Chains A and B, each alone.
Chain A
Amino acid sequence: MTDDDGFREFVHARLGRLSRIAYLLTGDHHSAEDLLQNALVKIASRWSKVSAGGAPDAYLRKVLYHEHVSAWRRSRHLRAEWPTAEPPEGGSGRDMAAETVRRVLLEQALAKLTRKQRAVIVLRFVEDLSEADAAAALGVSVGTIKSQTSYALKKLREQAPELHVLVREPKEAWA
């Protein structure tokens, strides 16, 4: 199997999950695709070393989140240029179900978080990583993960009081 084929196989097996994470990190399709592409380019350019290293998933996670945190700085203004590119689905014509309302509220609240806070939320609540693993993915200390999680949840509660009961500290047992 060539390096390229190995890379293809690795990515295709994870594309659904990677797409979901990229979308959750960025909040829109354009940015999600960009983020995923940028991360995968970095992996592809050194695939032989990455695959030989034996931990390509951990490496890809690190690159993806790092790319998100750094790319966010560069493109923050850009997101405002696509305000209507992807309007919330189901926003007209019928009453939105309660779940949909909550989801939209959460999306709006997530958009108010800093890039790092949003990354922490995805790592802890979507990827279900332990504080230690989340810290390794972001290249920060466990203490930073704890504080950023706390700040992020506080901000979510402030931004979307309707979600108050849903937004709780994650249990470390999940890890």
Chain B
Amino acid sequence: MSDLNELLADIGDRARIYDVTERALVLGRRRRNTRRLAGVGGIAAAVALSITGALVLPTRPEPGPAAPPSPTPSPPAVALTACAASELPMPEGLRADTYHEFGGDPSGRFQATRATDGKGRDFLVVWEDGSPRVVSEWPKGAVRINAVSSTGTVLLRAGQAELKSWVVRRDGTTTRPLGPGAVGLGINSAGVIVGQIQGNLLMTWRDATAKPVPLPVPDGMTAGDPAAISDDGTVVTQLFEGRFEQTPFRRFGPGWAYVWPPGGSPQRLALPDAIDGVKVKSSRVFQIADGWASGVLITGEGEDIRPYPARWRLGSGEVEWLAVPDRGEGVVNPQGWAVLRAADDTTTLVRGDVAIRLTGLPGHTPRPSDVTGTAPLMVSVVGPDARALFGLQVSEGENRELVYRRLRWTCH
């Protein structure tokens, strides 16, 4: 015989002990340290958005960009609690442990890397939903994967000194973007490419074989990299003050994140004057999706440079950022998930109340980044809902050489 309260007690017996005390203390401390800013642009008070200190600011007085048509709603925050690392499988007979070239599409479906058969031939390997496949020979001179599209097309480029790039489609077809010194930087699911030609001139290509079409850039500004293009054709990249035509992708002076709505003129993305009392000196933008662009706000200079992962809502021009600066590469996706690297090289996935420390595969000697200049974990892709992350684990081999492992972190 049981009554409702006895049955409920029975259900309650199935609970585990959820000891979240220490996590609560850490996150509570961050919440306490959150600074609330108000009155930017002369509008109402700012609202703290998340426990990691994200703030929503109204737009600056300058006009915000037009809302992109029909943005997909951002995937809401999910309650993730842990991430487990596993190594991406390689095609038989190939290895990639000496190569750092790695990238993936923002959806998390495709990843790409350089691999070798150990007999002098290199290949472009692409994973589709976790399964690796040799797509083509690795183009001679390519040293970097600039972008991977959500349909599996890979943009490769040569070193900084050489203006050269390749577009490798999923079927292995390899082309070069048209135009002198053309370099593709970003590609959307329709195959539209954004990049530059010689002279740092910002261009789009309708597809891998089309002629480049220039995008307008304000007088006295020079386009930088990276750049991204959304499925509706909205482009984001960084513009530097000054004209630098002789050398590709030079980064001098302050640069600012800009957006080009489809067919529209460039508009600077809003930013606060200061974070924690330190002037914001620069902004960069890396990705665009679901009506949001993501990048970093940068304060300080020299050794005091602090990049704060940030994102902009393109429809309203609002910007929000994490109160915690990043020591790493500024990995943040348009959905608001960021990967923060601390001074001691620990790497943490954060969003809202979630803060999950990422670890690599056990048994591999980590190399401190102040020795190698390379973090032990380099996350390059955070999927839209952060259930899948991709990147490299860098460790030390038998002869103290750097060994790169391609990892997927599965978070739940």
Interface string of B56-90 (1 = CB under 8 A from A): 00000000000000000000111101000000000
A45 lies within 8 A of B4 (CB): no
Interface string of A9-23 (1 = CB under 8 A from B): 001100110111111
A109 to B21, CA, bound (A): 31
In the bound complex, how far is the Cα of B76 from the Cα of A8, in angstroms? 31
CA distance in complex: A18, B15 (Å) = 10
The residue in chain B whose Cβ has the minimal distance to the Cβ of A166 is: B4
Main SS class of interface, A: helix
A19 in contact with B10 given A45-B29, A125-B5, A166-B2 (CB within 8 Å): no
What total of A-B pairs shows CB separation below 8 Å? Answer: 132
A47–B28 Cα gap in the complex (Å)?
Answer: 9
Give the docked Cα–Cα distance between A33 and B412 (Å). Answer: 13
Asked if A75 CB lies within 8 Å of chain B CBs, one says yes
Minimum C-beta distance from A14 to chain B (A): 10
Number of interface residues of A (CB under 8 A): 53
Contacts of B11 in A (CB 8 A): 23-24, 103, 106-107, 110
B8 & A167 in contact (Cβ 8 Å cutoff): no
Q: Which of B14, B76, B77, B81 has the most CB of A within 10 A?
A: B14
Q: Is A36 an interface residue, CB under 8 A from the partner?
A: yes
Taking the complex as formed, is A42 at the interface, i.e. its CB lies under 8 A from any CB of chain B? yes
Q: Do the beta carbons of A44 and B16 come within 8 Å of each other?
A: no
On whether the beta carbons of B8 and A16 are closer than 8 Å, the reply is: no
Contact B18 A102 (CB under 8 A): no
Chain A, range 90-130, C-beta contacts under 8 Å to B: 99, 102-103, 106-107, 110, 121-122, 125-126, 128
Set of chain A residues within 8 Å of B14, measured between Cβ atoms = 23, 89
How would residues 162 to 205 of chain B score, 1 for a CB under 8 Å from any chain A CB and 0 otherwise? 00000000000000000000000000000000000000000000
Assess whether B21 is in contact with A8, with CB atoms less than 8 Å apart: yes
Residues from 36 to 63 in A contacting B, C-beta threshold 8 Å = 36-38, 40-47
> Is B370 engaged at the interface, CB distance under 8 Å to the other chain?
no
Given A44-B29, A78-B79, A126-B9, is A167 in contact with B18 using a C-beta cutoff of 8 Å? Answer: no
Residues of A whose CB lies within 8 Å of any CB of B are 4, 7-8, 11-12, 15-16, 18-24, 29-34, 36-38, 40-47, 74-75, 77-78, 81, 89, 99, 102-103, 106-107, 110, 121-122, 125-126, 128, 156, 163, 166-168
Q: Can you list 13 A-B contacts with CB-CB less than 8 angstroms, sorted by A residue number?
A: A8-B21, A15-B18, A20-B15, A41-B353, A42-B28, A44-B29, A44-B31, A77-B76, A78-B76, A99-B2, A103-B10, A128-B5, A156-B4
Shortest Cβ-Cβ A-B pairs, 3 listed = A44-B28, A23-B15, A40-B24
Interface residues of B (CB under 8 A from A): 2-5, 7-21, 23-25, 27-29, 31-32, 51, 76-79, 81, 353, 412
